[in-house]
Each structure stands twice: as structure tokens, then as C-alpha cells.
Amino acid sequence: MDRPARDPGLQPERTRMAWRRTTLAGAVVGVLAGRQAVVEGPRPLAVLAVALAGLVWLALLAVGQRRIRALAAPRPPALSPRAAVAAAGCAALLGVLGVGMLR
């Protein structure tokens, strides 16, 4: 059975904006972690946390951009379980790093 094309309504746009907000929030965590590391002085653990936050943010950005590009298709594929786990893991790790930098 042939599936109808996706509704060109606002849902794809909301999803795109949600991915952008998530990657922006990750960037904010990285910037705040960097700021905290500079204020406290270059301790090895702080530098490691900033570097890790940057790498995790880049991974989240890659997943988000891939999904945003996929949403442009008339009938985008579902988000793969691997990508969903990667995005959730990146967001959770950025949250943990953000909280850890406050201590």
C-alpha cells in the first residue's frame, strides 16, 4: 500500500526547531563549562570536562543536523534507535557535565 506524503504542516518545523534548541543548549553548557574552568584556573579536571563537553556537543550537533536534513524529505525515515540513544546520551551527559562544573 502506498503511503501518502507527509503533511507539510508545522510539525516538521517544530521538530527542526526542537533539534536546534537542543544543540544550542548543549553549546551553552560547553561555554559555561569553559567559563567556569577559566574562572577557577586551568585545573586538569576542569580542562578535561570542557574538552569532553565540546566533544559531546559535536556528537549531538552531528545527530541533530543529520535529522534536520532527513526531515526535508517528503516522507522522512523514522529516527533510528541508534541515533535516538546517541542524542539522549549526549543530552544527559551534557547535563551531568553542567551540574558537575557547578561544584
Q: Residue written as cell 540513544?
A: 85
Residues 33-55, buried b or exposed e (16+ Cβ, 10 A)? bbebbeeeeeeeebeebbebbbe
**pLDDT (0 to 100) of residue 65:** 93
CA distance 50 to 83: 23
List, run by run, the mean pLDDT of 10-residue segments along the chain (103 residues). Answer: 62 87 87 81 80 90 91 83 91 81 67
**pLDDT (0 to 100) of residue 20:** 92
